[in-house]
Amino acid sequence: MADNRPRLPDGFVAFVKQDCPTCELIVPVLEQLAEAELLSVVYTQDDVSFPNLPITSDDTSLEMSFFYEIETVPTLLKTVKGREVDRIVGWSQEEWSSFLGVEDLGPEDIRPYSPGCGSLSVDPDLEGKLRQRYGKGAASRVVKFASAEDEFEAMYDRGWSDGLPLIPPTVERVLAMLEGTTLQPEEVVALAPPNLVSLTVEKVAINAVMAGCKPEYLPVVIAALETACTDEFNMHGLLATTMPVGPIIFVNGPIRKSIEMNSGMNLLGQGNRANSTIGRAVQLAIRNVGGGRPGGVDRATHGSPAKYGLCFAEDEEGSPWSSHAQDLGFSPDQSTVTLFPGEGPRVIVDQLSRSPDELARSLASGLIGNAHPKWVMGFDAILIIGPEHASRFAEAGWSKEKVNEEIINHTIRDSNDLIRGADGIAEGLPEAFAGTSLPKLRPDGGLIILYGGGEAGLFSAIIGGWISGDKGSQYQTREITL
């Protein structure tokens, strides 16, 4: 990759500022080095008269400090052919002597060590402006509001919002968000449906800012959008269907803890920033970049609060079983995101079942009602088993595989009860399905069992799915990379 930074004079280059006691301390050292012609230039960040040397150069614009990522002053660089090859940060008489090849460095009474001060180029009040001025800036069009415009109302008026207030995506905020990933801003994450517009990392960052994300959430948002835009997940189909479905997002692995996601009490509700904003950022990106807006391509008859974005983490630490990601072959050290095409959650209450078989039957009964009691095999589901319910299975030694199998077995019904007209209900399966038995869910992956929720309450939660398979959407899991 080409180095487009301004070139430096060969030799040794120092960065200082007058408002730094350590820089004041080493002025005699700088004078000695300048006189010996070992020091090529001294860049000063705040006072062009400091230090008073012929080689002092004005860096009050902080351009050189920004490009050479000076975090502490004094910093001493060694340069060859205009480029840095080594550096020393702060003042250490012993280290500077060795670095410069000078035995008697500075006056005899100089303090031998001082750590230095923060560079102005990393001052929080200036850093964003410097990124905008000297960095690549934003490739996206910058929208300027009139001075009398209320920026929050203006974002509503321009159709950027999902109905909730947005954080203004200033250039400074977007550049700060991009610090959350090693990807380049211009890299294309995916083609965003329904309009198949190139969704760049920068576009994702813009929508993540508006959603209220922190930079450390960005890798999860990017991985989720990569997954959403695959043919298998079929985000376009989720938008176009009249059913109330959207991407349900859950996270496994170490990143859950590092970004402080909620996997316990109220994990499907409000109150946790990561849970609340990651799913929202995904939906905003599809809306604002891909064009998937309600009333347009998004044709949901009733919709769902999940369409704002539903995101949560699995409680791996509390679970008696392996995580969903581990079931798929990922290691505990890998972080993953799974997207499931689902409705909003609903509860299954069972406060009386004591045996695992009783509870499995009870949970199966609750699952039968998803979409319609007569619809079977074509609609997957997530079952989030709460701690108190899970303890019934764990105490009996039931594995997650056994729980899954028994629940699906208990949903098997006589197809004569499922055909159209049975029980006086016109809805149902075609007559051709009569005379057999069918389970509600596909035995080979139709039910995802997760562990999570608060410790109190004999409850579990169900998230019903949209049509599975080639005609609908297949849930997908992807590793999250930084």
**pLDDT reported for residue 137:** 58
**pLDDT reported for residue 37:** 95
pLDDT tens series, the chain, 482 aa: 356 789 999 999 999 999 999 999 999 999 999 999 999 999 999 999 999 999 999 999 999 999 999 999 999 999 999 999 999 999 999 999 999 999 999 999 999 999 999 999 988 778 777 877 786 556 666 777 777 889 999 999 989 999 999 999 998 899 999 999 999 998 999 999 999 999 999 999 999 999 999 999 999 999 999 999 999 999 999 999 999 999 999 999 999 999 999 999 999 999 999 999 999 999 999 999 999 999 899 999 999 988 999 999 999 999 999 999 999 999 999 999 999 999 999 999 999 999 999 999 999 999 999 999 999 998 999 999 999 999 999 999 999 999 999 999 999 999 999 999 999 999 999 999 999 999 999 999 999 999 999 999 999 999 999 999 888 999 999 999 98
Side-chain half-sphere CA neighbours of 435 within 13 A: 2
**pLDDT reported for residue 136:** 59
Torsion of CA 443, 309, 297, 479, to 10 degrees: -60
Co-location of 367 and 259 in the same domain: yes
Does residue 408 fall inside a structural domain? yes
Locate 272 and state its tokens: 């946790």
Cα 350 to Cα 265, 361, 386: the distances in Å are: 18, 11, 11
Candidates 245, 309, 250; CA nearest to 277 is: 309
Co-location of 239 and 101 in the same domain: no
| Strands, E assignment, 66-145 | 72-73, 75-80, 83-89, 91-92, 113-114, 117-118
Query: SS3 of 197, please?
Result: strand
How many domains does one find in the chain? Answer: 2
**pLDDT reported for residue 230:** 97
Candidates 465, 191, 438, 175; CA nearest to 310 is: 465
Cα 410 to Cα 380, 403, 432, 445: the distances in Å are: 15, 11, 23, 16
Co-location of 41 and 185 in the same domain: no
Does residue 6 fall inside a structural domain? no
Burial of 41 (0-12, 13-18, 19+ CB in 10 A): buried
| Contact assessment for residue 162 and residue 294, using Cβ atoms and an 8 Å cutoff | no
**pLDDT reported for residue 454:** 97
**pLDDT reported for residue 1:** 38
CATH number, domain with residue 58: 3.40.30.10
Co-location of 246 and 195 in the same domain: yes
Torsion of CA 362, 368, 373, 378, to 10 degrees: -170
Does residue 2 fall inside a structural domain? no
Domain of residue 85, residue span: 11-134
Co-location of 263 and 342 in the same domain: yes
Co-location of 203 and 242 in the same domain: yes
Candidates 340, 369, 326; CA nearest to 447 is: 340
Cα 15 to Cα 32, 279, 366: the distances in Å are: 16, 44, 68
| Contact assessment for residue 465 and residue 245, using Cβ atoms and an 8 Å cutoff | yes
d(CA 245, CA 310): 11
Co-location of 81 and 161 in the same domain: no
Which region, left, alpha or beta, applies to residue 481 given φ > 0 means left and ψ of -120 to 50 means alpha? Answer: beta
Does residue 146 fall inside a structural domain? no
Amino acid at 137: G
Query: Is the CA virtual torsion 406, 411, 416, 419 positive or negative?
Result: negative
Co-location of 37 and 77 in the same domain: yes
Co-location of 165 and 72 in the same domain: no
Co-location of 251 and 350 in the same domain: yes
**pLDDT reported for residue 139:** 65
Report phi then psi at 408, rounded to 5: -65, -40
Helix (H) or strand (E) holding 240: helix 235-240
| Contact assessment for residue 460 and residue 452, using Cβ atoms and an 8 Å cutoff | no
